[in-house]
């Protein structure tokens, strides 16, 4: 598929891969296009699977405010290091054509940049964030192997009420090094993974979701899941899927529907059960840490948390045990 929107008509459904060009604003013209730009939320983020840490980073543009965040939490010491920076809305110019682009967030003392090669090629992540206050510096030079990536999840769907989502996700083996303060973590592409999460989405004013993701490498390929509970339009595909090696090791992205999450208690670090109605996904999350974000800015409010820890259970015909991953909950007025 060449474009998400053709002659003002937006394609919906599950796609075999990312459309070459994705700009949801092409579905609008005139003053409405300008108004919709303020509703468009765009981001390109990464979540890392490494036995010694939990980490993620993101470049995001709400078109009234642009920002970037990175955190690294050591699995042994439990030390959480996090940095963030803001910029003028619309200034990131996140790419319509993802592969072959070089999006970056650069401010004094803060640089996160992605050099994305061709589809199936090599991609690189560069991080150079200075120490600030009690937070040590973070730096990284990481290389992603697109030739051994999972199958992609690319989906366009309406959201309830009055929203539209586009997302593109896939998993890469990752090599290189990430340093926090004076400690360096080595990434091995035979073991470690990173999950791409790209969104170009018109979120409803009142937005809610529960979401989890994880991945692990086996001898025959990558096994993982991306699963989300949100108020989807009945009969439309969501962003929930399993990633499996498939027959002959050919990567597969298997869609899931009717996903749900249930907490064991109201404890902030309670275990969670995530499952699909058909039983192909049935996993338990054991958190070992939590990151909270709360903002109240008049009509705009965010109540968000992300848990990091391990997932265990059934993924298709596979059993996974203590695979590192994350889970998050968002309740917002945007």
Compute the distance between CA of residue 69 and CA of residue 82 in angstroms, rounded to an integer: 7
Range of the domain at 189: 5-333
pLDDT digits over 193-236, tens only?
999 999 999 988 888 999 999 999 999 999 999 999 998 888 88
If pLDDT is split at 50, 70 and 90, which confidence band does 308 have?
Answer: very high
- Span between the terminal Cα atoms of the chain, in Å: 31
Per the structure, the count of domains in the chain is 1
pLDDT digits over 58-83, tens only?
999 999 899 999 999 999 999 999 99
Q: Helix H segments across the chain?
A: 30-37
Residue count of the chain, please give it: 334
Burial class (CB in 10 A: 0-12, 13-18, 19+), 76: exposed
Q: Is the peptide bond before 161 cis (omega within 30 degrees of 0)?
A: yes
Tell whether the model's pLDDT for residue 173 goes beyond 90: yes
Give the residue from 230, 226, 229, 228 showing the smallest Cα distance to 207.
230
Task: List beta partners, residue 249.
Answer: none
If pLDDT is split at 50, 70 and 90, which confidence band does 299 have?
Answer: confident
DSSP, residue by residue, 39-72: TEEEEEEEEEEETTEEEEEEEEE-SSEEEEEEEE
Helix, strand, coil shares of the chain, percent, nearest 5, are: 5, 60, 35
Look up residue 208 and give its two tokens. 């809610």
Pairing status of strand 138-145 against strand 300-315: unpaired
Task: List beta partners, residue 158.
Answer: 164
Tell whether the model's pLDDT for residue 331 goes beyond 80: yes
Look up residue 290 and give its two tokens. 């939590």
Backbone angles phi, psi at 250, to 5 degrees: -75, 120
Give the residue from 136, 125, 116, 147 showing the smallest Cα distance to 181.
136
Tell whether the model's pLDDT for residue 125 goes beyond 90: yes
Task: List beta partners, residue 325.
Answer: 214, 309
The enclosing H or E element of 212 equals strand 206-218
In three-state secondary structure terms, 115 is strand
If pLDDT is split at 50, 70 and 90, which confidence band does 133 have?
Answer: very high
Query: Quick one: DSSP state of residue 3?
Result: B
In three-state secondary structure terms, 32 is helix
- Provide the pLDDT for residue 323: 97
pLDDT: which is higher, 233 or 128 = 128
Threshold 0.85, pTM exceeds:
yes
């Amino acid at each position: 598929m060449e474009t998400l929107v053709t002659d003002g008509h937006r394609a919906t459904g599950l796609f075999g891969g990312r459309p070459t060009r994705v700009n949801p604003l092409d579905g609008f013209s005139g003053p409405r296009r300008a108004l919709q730009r303020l509703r468009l939320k765009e981001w390109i983020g990464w979540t890392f699977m490494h036995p010694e840490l939990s980490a993620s980073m993101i470049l995001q543009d709400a078109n009234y405010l642009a920002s970037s965040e990175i955190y690294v939490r050591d699995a042994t010491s439990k030390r959480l290091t996090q940095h963030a920076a803001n910029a003028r809305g619309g200034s990131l110019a996140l790419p319509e054509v993802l592969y072959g682009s070089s999006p970056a967030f650069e401010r004094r003392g803060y640089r996160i940049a992605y050099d994305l090669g061709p589809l199936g090629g090599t991609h690189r992540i560069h991080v150079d964030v200075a120490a600030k206050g009690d937070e040590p510096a973070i730096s990284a030079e990481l290389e992603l192997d697109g030739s051994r990536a999972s199958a992609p999840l690319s989906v366009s769907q309406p959201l309830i009420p009055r929203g539209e989502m586009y997302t593109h996700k896939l998993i890469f083996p990752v090599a290189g090094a990430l340093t926090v303060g004076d400690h360096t973590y080595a990434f091995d592409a035979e073991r470690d993974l990173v999950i791409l999460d790209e969104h170009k989405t018109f979120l409803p004013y009142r937005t809610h979701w529960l979401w989890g993701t994880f991945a692990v490498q086996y001898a025959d390929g990558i096994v993982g899941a991306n699963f989300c509970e949100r108020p989807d339009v009945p009969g439309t595909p969501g962003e929930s899927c399993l990633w499996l090696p498939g027959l002959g090791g050919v990567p597969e992205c298997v869609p899931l529907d009717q996903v749900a999450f249930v907490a064991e208690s109201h404890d902030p670090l309670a275990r969670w059960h995530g499952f699909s109605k058909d039983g192909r996904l049935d996993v338990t999350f054991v958190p070992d840490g939590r990151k909270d974000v709360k903002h109240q800015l008049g009509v705009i409010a965010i109540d968000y948390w992300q848990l990091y820890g391990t997932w265990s259970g059934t993924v298709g015909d596979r059993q996974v045990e203590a695979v590192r991953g994350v889970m998050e909950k968002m309740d917002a007025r945007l």
